Amino acid sequence: MTALGTHVTDSQLINEVETALNQALADHLLAPKLREAMQYAVLGGGKRVRPVMTLRACEAVGGRRQDAIPAAIALEMIHCFSLVHDDLPALDNDDLRRGRPTTHIAHGEALAILAGDALTSVAIEIALDSPVRAADIARELAAATTAMITGQVYDTLAGFPGNLPAAERLRLVHDNKTGALIRCACRMGALCGTPDESRLQALTTYGESMGLMFQVVDDILDETQSTEHLGKAAGKDRDAGKLTYPSIFGIAESHRHVAHLLEIALSALQPLGNAAEPLRLTAHALATRTK
Amino acid sequence: MTALGTHVTDSQLINEVETALNQALADHLLAPKLREAMQYAVLGGGKRVRPVMTLRACEAVGGRRQDAIPAAIALEMIHCFSLVHDDLPALDNDDLRRGRPTTHIAHGEALAILAGDALTSVAIEIALDSPVRAADIARELAAATTAMITGQVYDTLAGFPGNLPAAERLRLVHDNKTGALIRCACRMGALCGTPDESRLQALTTYGESMGLMFQVVDDILDETQSTEHLGKAAGKDRDAGKLTYPSIFGIAESHRHVAHLLEIALSALQPLGNAAEPLRLTAHALATRTK
């Protein structure tokens, strides 16, 4: 971890996020069965990419990490809600997620629907507990959630406006389905850490590039890796005839696009100096991840 | 409408609410298919009890009605989201709502799930557009949404904490499933209209009584009216062996309880004078409604 220098490690941040998630779900007034299903959905592993990014973004603009904890865990709850609902039989119909049964397999479909619903409203409640700019944080989160759902509709049910070419349809899916939450992760972190508009803008650009890059890498992995390796069904997008980067541009061009997006992300961080070092490492790690 | 005196009629308020709902759904950036399903879910009739209550509560404490419009339509969206998800096959499995096919019958299950999800996040975005106390309004709405889902879990899946007697289990269902949103309707209206704590408290008491009364009346109607008359499946709660007021206390005692709750509601409004007159009429109307 020498590259991180004086910064805390990702695993420490993941621990902080999981402790806070645990606490928030244990403390909230909820029907016991609902709580169990929500805990199953949220606490079953996952890379915690988004909340870690929120904490890193806050520190990158000179903020105090603990001020971004509510925003970070609220965002992770929204991410987990989207996975629970996307996995439902009426949507992607996935039985496996993070190497174990999906929430509707483990807790039944009714509870999976309601747990996803409650993760959204509890996430907003938590975002509104943010010690800094609570309304702005909740606004970012709610807008990103709406965008993500719009992306899911495009991805699953198409119905694109007008006669968009495939590449633009794909962009519309990616910007919304994956991009919105990752952009939101970075913007919320920045908002918790600084009132400075230019630093917010830098992290918005970083977040947008990372969001798109994350999805292109996901598409590549779906094409090239096994179900066993990924811990979720591989090759599904291709089998379902979904728009993906590799299906439109090929694997080689997809890899080039990843490199290009990485460059944009790194260049946006340039003015932030050493405080943004962990975000640079995250960018490299996400560009080269194999699962 | 002489009893309303100088106050506008309910139909005028319903018009204002529907115009604002229409506008909000038309303006929001959404995938076209998603928008259609959301419009279907929200604009297909309904009594608009909750948003009208929010507007009336705002005026009852001396506020300007237009300040409560965002809160009112946000709340109605949350109510409609709950209907869409409750009607799903995995939950109540209803084909009929307000005399026409439910959203999942008309638009498919995938879109019904996603439209419900997006109604929640868009509702929060709109609540955060409130010109007065936006964060407080959003907080009320998100907390009431969580409570409502908790109520739905108790109602559909039981799993009550401890060994609660039937009457207390029923109370837990009602307070959360129906009570939370009606209480929220009144509190949000009051918050939009005044910073005065005692008037907020009066409307909280009114809202709590109305919420419980609304559900007791619903239970009575489910027992005593036909599907055709109600525009939704009647006798379903009894057939499903659900806890209801009449099933525990009998029809006569249920009617007495309605009268008791009406009295509490009216007495809470007493200090508000003529400005609360429409809320009194609403209370009487909801106590004696037949559908």
Please write the tens of the pLDDT for every residue from B4-26. 778 899 999 999 999 999 999 99
Average pLDDT taken over every residue of chain B: 93
Does the domain at residues A7-288 carry the CATH identifier 1.10.645.10? no
Predicted confidence at residue A3, as pLDDT, reads: 64
CB < 8 Å & 24+ apart, contacts of B262-266: B262/B209, B262/B213, B262/B287, B264/B205, B264/B209, B265/B205, B265/B206, B265/B209, B265/B210, B265/B213
- A163 interaction partners in chain B (CB closer than 8 Å): none
Q: How far is B134 from chain A (nearest CA, A)?
A: 7
Low-confidence ranges of chain A (pLDDT < 50): 1-2
Phi-psi category of B97—alpha, beta or left, where left has phi over 0 and alpha has psi -120 to 50? beta
Q: Does A113 touch chain B (CB under 8 A)?
A: yes
Predicted confidence at residue B4, as pLDDT, reads: 75
CA A94 – CA A109 distance, rounded (Å): 12
Q: In chain B, positions 146-165, which contact chain A (CB-CB < 8 Å)? A: 146-147, 149-154, 156-161
The average pLDDT across B70-74 equals: 98
CA B55 – CA B19 distance, rounded (Å): 14
Sketch the domain layout of chain A as residue ranges: 7-288
Q: Is B290 helix (H, G, I), strand (E, B) or coil?
A: coil
Q: Is the pLDDT of residue B145 over 50?
A: yes
**CB atoms A135 and B139 under 8 Å:** no
**HSE (CB half, 13 Å, CA atoms) of A80?**
35
Q: B167-192, pLDDT tens digit by residue?
A: 999 999 999 999 999 999 999 999 99
Predicted confidence at residue B1, as pLDDT, reads: 39
Parallel, antiparallel, or unpaired: how do β-strands B96-97 and A100-101 relate?
Answer: unpaired
* DSSP conformation class of B273: G
Smallest Cβ distance to B111: which of A29, A121, A157?
A157
**CB atoms A33 and B159 under 8 Å:** yes
CA A79 – CA A90 distance, rounded (Å): 19
**CB atoms A110 and B156 under 8 Å:** yes
B110 CB burial (10 A radius; 0-12, 13-18, 19+): buried
Q: CA nearest B189: which of B72, B18, B16?
A: B72
Q: Does B255 touch chain A (CB under 8 A)?
A: no
| Homologous superfamily of B8-288 | Farnesyl Diphosphate Synthase (1.10.600.10)
Predicted confidence at residue A175, as pLDDT, reads: 93
Best of B84, B150, B164 to disrupt the A interface by mutation (most A CBs within 10 Å)? B150
The pLDDT confidence band at residue B271, using thresholds 50, 70 and 90, is very high
Predicted confidence at residue B2, as pLDDT, reads: 42
The average pLDDT across B102-108 equals: 97
